Chain A
Amino acid sequence: MSIADRLDALGRFIVRGKLPAALLLLAMTIAASIGVLSRVDEGPPIDFTPQALFNGDDTNERALALREWWGKDDNEVMVLVEGPIFTPEGAALMQSLHAALAADPDVERVDSLVSLGIAARGEDGVSVKPLLREGMDAAALSLAAARAASEPGLVGAAVSPDGGAATLRARLGDDLERVAQLSPAVNRLRDITAAAETPGFSIGATGIPEIRLQIVEQLIRDQLRYLPADAVIFAAVLGLLFRGFVPGLLPLFTVGLAVVWATGLLLGLGVTFNVLSILIPALVLVIGISDGIHLLTRYREELSVDRDREAAMGRTLRHLASACFLTSFTTAVGFGSLAVSHSQALQEFGVQSAAAVMVAFGAVVIGLPTMLAWVPAERVIRARGTEAGKGRLHRGLMALDAAVAARPGRALGASALFTACAVWIASGVGTDSHMMELFPDDHEVVRIYSAVVEHGGGVVPVYAHLEADRPGAFREPEILAKIDALEAVIASREEIRWTASTAGVLRGVHRALTGEDAVPDDEALIEQELFVLELGGDQGRLDALVDPDWRVTRILGLSVDAGGHVFNELAEVIQAEGDALFEGTGVTVIPAGDGIVASAGIHRIIDDLFASVGIAFGIIGVTLLLMLRSARLAALSMVPNVLPLIITLATLGVIGADIQTGNVVSFAVALGLAVDDTIHFLARYREELASGKALPEAVRATFAGAGPALVYTTLLLMAGFSVLAFSSLTPTWHFGVLAVSTLLAALGADLVVLPALLHLLDRRSLSR
């Protein structure tokens, strides 16, 4: 029995045994729902870390290894206070805010002007104390402001040079890993900052925990909007298309099942959605609807032949199930090709999406026939498309076919010109990644970040991790001098706003004790000046910079969100300068920190892009070769699928975006979706050729037969994806915009480029 015969038998079996089939659907849906609900009950199964989106594999492992030494540096909420800090009101606000943050049970430490001890030389000796203390009068505050402006340990990290802004950095416990764990603490800190609002001052919070929580909150809000919005759009379009409420909505109901099944499967397997994979339910809804429409359209046609539901469903699956499988498979290949990416988020998205697409295929191929089996034949046949609309579309498609057939060379020339323009626009698109790229420019997170930068501060931590081959190495004078030199190199970078190191701390103590601005160069003096810190009880600053054995240390820096290329350059500078400085000393240098780790993968974005698109092209090409059994046709069919990729790239140029980890996903997906139209077009074309038609007539019949379905499904998919373009998360709206432009380009290519190529190059068919 051939595959087609088996599919025919399956269709008949479903209609014959519609009750068991329905019960099977119900059981699977209940099981999937339990899978979803059990996970949701534990908290939103959504998490996000910037590292997962941007990092590369080895850098991620390195970052995790360095956490053993320095803890989770990124678990820090930064509260920005804008206003006259060195006034009685400002000082009181800082004191109360600091105390409130420090009192939170999940806050391990708060660093601010209220707590950071500064060694300073005064008339009455050396003091090691914070700049803002209780009971300071206006004169003392004025002196503190002058101190702040010249204190390298504070400017850029805790206070602006003009005293117009200050930050409080609340370090949350390392045990708070997932967003669900962070959420209560971050919300409490939000309440604290809200309660501290004071006239004349502006208070806002940022930092990785805040960003992670905001992203997850936005993802949940988006989900609550996309799915209902898509459902409404699809219901309206399907209702109009099929002019029948029940049959028209059955594809929608089926993809609803597909969403539940796919989500249930993934969550049941323990998947936690990330900023990309959260799109999977919406993708299943949008992509699955296409197969549903094709199946319903064909079933209606077959049913109108003999009114025999069993036979009609058999013929429907015989003719369409393979094509639907191929389109789902190629889409899944597009997604699945992202598994070769270096980004953990992309890998997860690719594999999970591929699985979900195939689940959706199964849900539609089994679910829709089961549901249609319960609907009387007359009711399905009666639900016809709008004749007027169909007529206009038919006439338009016929005119297009005539124009392409008359001058295929000119059609290809015009397409080539259009492609050249797109290439020109696309050539201006580069690669980069920024922490803040996830948000639009007017987002509160970006506003606070920008305010920090405007006030001379940095947000993104970077550091040089130094490890010696012996304990106590970093107390040695010559090693300290090299740390000081490397810190100077880092501090001289334009993107760096603040640095700290053991050498810098010692420099401060030495300056306070002697008035000399230098790092002590005598072993005994180093020990004795460190003893000053011990005596003052101000070891806390050193704890973040050096291990108790003084075998491991770091030069810490805060940077602006300078972008992946700048961070990579910084990493190269740290590595090169560090290696040169510490050569032969037994000290190794490792560039690290969120900025550098998050950017390590940017070198590989283009590699990832080429690898995933190349793999997708290869697998899809082989699939088409097997399907078409013609190398020439398979080669021709790939040509119109290049254009959507170029248009995707050009669209990035038009919206002024770079190729980023968050949108590189669109290219492989674009190919997977674009090839669907090609498959449907060529399947019909071969069917028409097989019926004995010559090439021009076969193409014309294909336009007439498959054209409307291609147009309808493309419009429906565009409508579905366009909803994503309203998200305030950049990866989501990029995906929506790029998908819409890709689908439009794919339809254009399949209705202009592909038939033109067939007219010109499918000579074997032409000669026949």
Chain B
Amino acid sequence: MRTLLLGLLLIPPTFSQEGDSGVEVLRQAAGAQFGGNTVQTLKMTATTRSGRTKERTIQLQVRREGESVWVRGELLAPESLKGTRFVMTDGPDAAAEVLLYLPALGSVTPIRGEKRAEGFLGTDFALADLSPPDLDEGAHALVSEDETAWVVESIPAEGGEYTRVRATLHKADRLPHLVEYFAEGDTPKKRLELLEVGESGLPSKLKMTDMGAGSSTVMEVLEQQVDVPEEALPLSLFTREALKND
């Protein structure tokens, strides 16, 4: 659950000091991404090899209290999915399931999935792709640095989908502008690009390309509110009843 939150909430990092090692660079970037309560509207456009596109617009409301996180999502488009809502929670006492409301059925169903790592909402983003590397596991090295960017290479702990992840972070905005995910060999399996940075300094457009499948997904931040007051995101919003009745 945590990986989902980290990935979807690419809050801009605010570096306090220059990074002088791979771990340090990533730690600062990752540390800066734990923000407060947020409301985001994201448009995800998945494009297949043949050029067919699929769009999903989703509003995510996120509330944080200590280590606990509540996320409520609502599909705004396409029309056939409009009104589909879900709630996920994360934290020490969080439930393992996702509460899902399907308007066509008019009921809320808890969904327990163990395979969410494979892909998120039918796009090229896997949950693992959206999360920064776990700095406590694996190895991270600053492999190159010039006046404008750091290049950090991470070797994840065994058992993951990737054997190597290489991130290029710009010094100007401290954001990862290019992340390449390697499974084997020197050709990346996937490639995440930061296409646009919003006026607020936040990433506003990201593109994930699956090199093997020839498909790609562009994730666009349409709206974003940060540091939303708790009153605007009451815990009652993240309940089964709220899902069904809203």
Contacts and interface: CB of A to CB of B under 8 A. Distances in A.
- Chain A complexes with chain B: yes
Given A524-B103, A528-B102, A548-B48, A130 B114 contact: yes
A711 B50 CA distance: 68
B119 A125 contact: no
A513 interface: yes
Interface in A107-138: 117, 124-130, 133
Contacts of A549: 48, 50, 52
B112 A535 contact: no
Nearest to B212: A108
Categorize the interface residue count of chain B.
35 or more
B118 interface: yes
Interface stretch (A537-545, A587-595, A745-753): A537-545
B215 A127 contact: no
A513 B107 CA distance: 9
Interface string B60-83: 000000000000000100101100
B116 A127 contact: no
A537 B117 contact: yes
Interface in B101-133: 102-105, 109-122, 127
B193 interface: no
Contacts of B122: 530-531, 534, 539
A105 interface: yes
A535 B98 contact: yes
Contacts of B2: none
B215 to A, nearest CB: 7
Contact of A127 (B84, B100, B111, B118): B111
Categorize the interface residue count of chain A.
20 to 34
A535 B100 contact: yes
Contact of B102 (A128, A525, A540, A547): A525
Nearest to B116: A537
A537 B124 CA distance: 11
Nearest to A472: B52
B111 A531 contact: no
Contacts of B109: 125-126, 513
B43 to A, nearest CB: 16
A548 B80 CA distance: 18
Contacts of B48: 547-549
Given A525-B105, A528-B102, A548-B48, A537 B118 contact: yes
Given A531-B84, A534-B122, A535-B121, A126 B102 contact: no
A539 B117 CA distance: 11
A514 B108 CA distance: 11
* Most central of A126, A133, A535, A547 by chain B CB within 10 Å: A535
B150 interface: no
A689 to B, nearest CB: 76
B115 A125 contact: no
B104 A536 contact: no
Contact of B110 (A125, A129, A537, A538): A125
* Most central of B50, B114, B115, B116 by chain A CB within 10 Å: B115
Given A514-B105, A525-B105, A532 B121 contact: no
B162 interface: no
B76 to A, nearest CB: 13
Given A514-B105, A549-B48, A128 B114 contact: yes
A484 B179 CA distance: 42
Given A525-B102, A528-B102, A549-B50, A537 B112 contact: no
Contacts of A540: 115, 118
A131 B122 CA distance: 23
A536 B110 CA distance: 11
Nearest to A122: B112
Contacts of A537: 113, 115-120, 127
B86 interface: yes
B80 A523 contact: yes
Interface of A: 105, 117, 124-130, 133, 471, 513-514, 522-532, 534-540, 547-549
17 contacts: A124-B112, A125-B111, A125-B112, A126-B109, A126-B110, A129-B112, A133-B114, A513-B109, A514-B105, A524-B104, A525-B105, A528-B81, A528-B105, A531-B81, A534-B122, A548-B46, A548-B48
Ranked 10 nearest A-B pairs via Cβ: A125-B110, A536-B113, A537-B116, A527-B80, A548-B48, A525-B104, A127-B112, A534-B122, A549-B52, A129-B114
Given A125-B111, A128-B113, 12 more contacts: A124-B97, A126-B111, A127-B113, A513-B102, A522-B104, A524-B81, A525-B105, A526-B80, A530-B122, A535-B100, A548-B48, A548-B50
Interface of B: 46, 48-50, 52, 54, 75, 78, 80-81, 84, 86, 97-98, 100, 102-105, 109-122, 127, 184, 215
